Amino acid sequence: MVQYDGRDSAVREAGIPVKVFDDYETLSREVAGMVDRVVRENPGVAITLPTGETPRGMYNELVQRINAGDLDFSTVHFFCLDDYLGASIDDPTSLTAWLNEVFLTPANLHGDHVHFVPTTSPDPDAAAIAYEAEIQALGGFRLAVLGLGPNGHIGFNEPGSSPDARTRVVHLTDESRTQNAQYYEGTPTIPDQAMTIGLGTLLEAGEIVLLVSGASKAEILKASLEGPMTPDVPGSFLRLAGDRVTVMADREAASALS
C-alpha cells in the first residue's frame, strides 16, 4: 500500500520522467506504443485506460493496430476507470458508452475480459468493494494510463481524495460536472455522483502513464508535479509512485513546467 505522511521529500519527487512531444498526434502514437509494449510483454494482465478527449488519439491508434492484427488485446483484462452513478452503457452521456463507441466496439473487444464499473448496482457501495476485489484478484494493475482533470482529479478522485482511497462512490465537484457537460451536445444533465477506482489502487500499478494535452492543462500539470503534495490537487500524489510514473505531454501542456 502507498503511504503518505503529509510531507514532500526529494526522494518522492525525484525520478519521474517527463516526456514532451511536439504535437498531439505524436503524443497519442507514443502512448499507444507504451500500451502495446505492456500488452505484448504481459498477456493476461489487468490494465485501466481513461476516457475523455485527450486519450481519443491513443484509442484510434490502438484500434488500428488491433484491426491490422498487429496487437492482440483479447487476453487483457480491461477495467473501466470510472463512470457516473446510475449510468449504463446504453446511456449516451455515460463514460462507458463513450468508451464502447471509441474503443471497445471498433476493436471488437467484448466479453468476460472487459470489466465495467458497476454503477447501476442496487447496492453501489458493495458493488464498488466487489469491483476492487476483482482488480486485486488479478494482482492489481500492470498498467494504468490516466488523464488529469482541470482541478487535478485522477479518474474521479476529486480534490480532497486520500492517496489510499479504493474503488468507491464519490461526489463530483461542480467544476467537473460543468467540464464534462461540454463533451456532449445540448445541455445534458451530469449526475452529482460517480464511481471511481481509487487513488490507492492506481498508485500501486506496475507502470503509470499520465497523459496530458493542451494549454488548458499547463497550470494544473505544473501544480501536480511541482507544487505541494496535497489532497487539494490529487494529481500531486502521483509522485508517491516515483519512477513507476511517466508523464507524457505535448508542448502546450508542458509549457508551464520549470
Active site residue 100: no
Active site residue 23: no
Active site residue 153: yes
Region at 215 (left for phi over 0; alpha for psi -120 to 50; beta for the rest) = alpha
172 CB contacts (<8 Å, ≥6 apart)? 156, 158, 190, 191, 192, 193, 194
| H or E element, residue 199 | helix 199-203
| H or E element, residue 178 | helix 174-181
Distance (Å, rounded) from C-alpha 182 to C-alpha 171?
19
82, 83, 207, 250: the catalytic one is 82
Could you count the other beta carbons within 10 Å of the beta carbon of residue 56? 16
Region at 17 (left for phi over 0; alpha for psi -120 to 50; beta for the rest) = beta
61, 100, 153, 180: the catalytic one is 153
83, 158, 204, 207: the catalytic one is 158
Q: Which residue type, as a one-letter code, is found at position 34?
A: M
Active site residue 125: no
Distance (Å, rounded) from C-alpha 256 to C-alpha 89?
37
8, 91, 151, 175: the catalytic one is 151
| H or E element, residue 169 | strand 168-171
Kindly list the catalytic residues. Answer: 82, 151, 153, 158
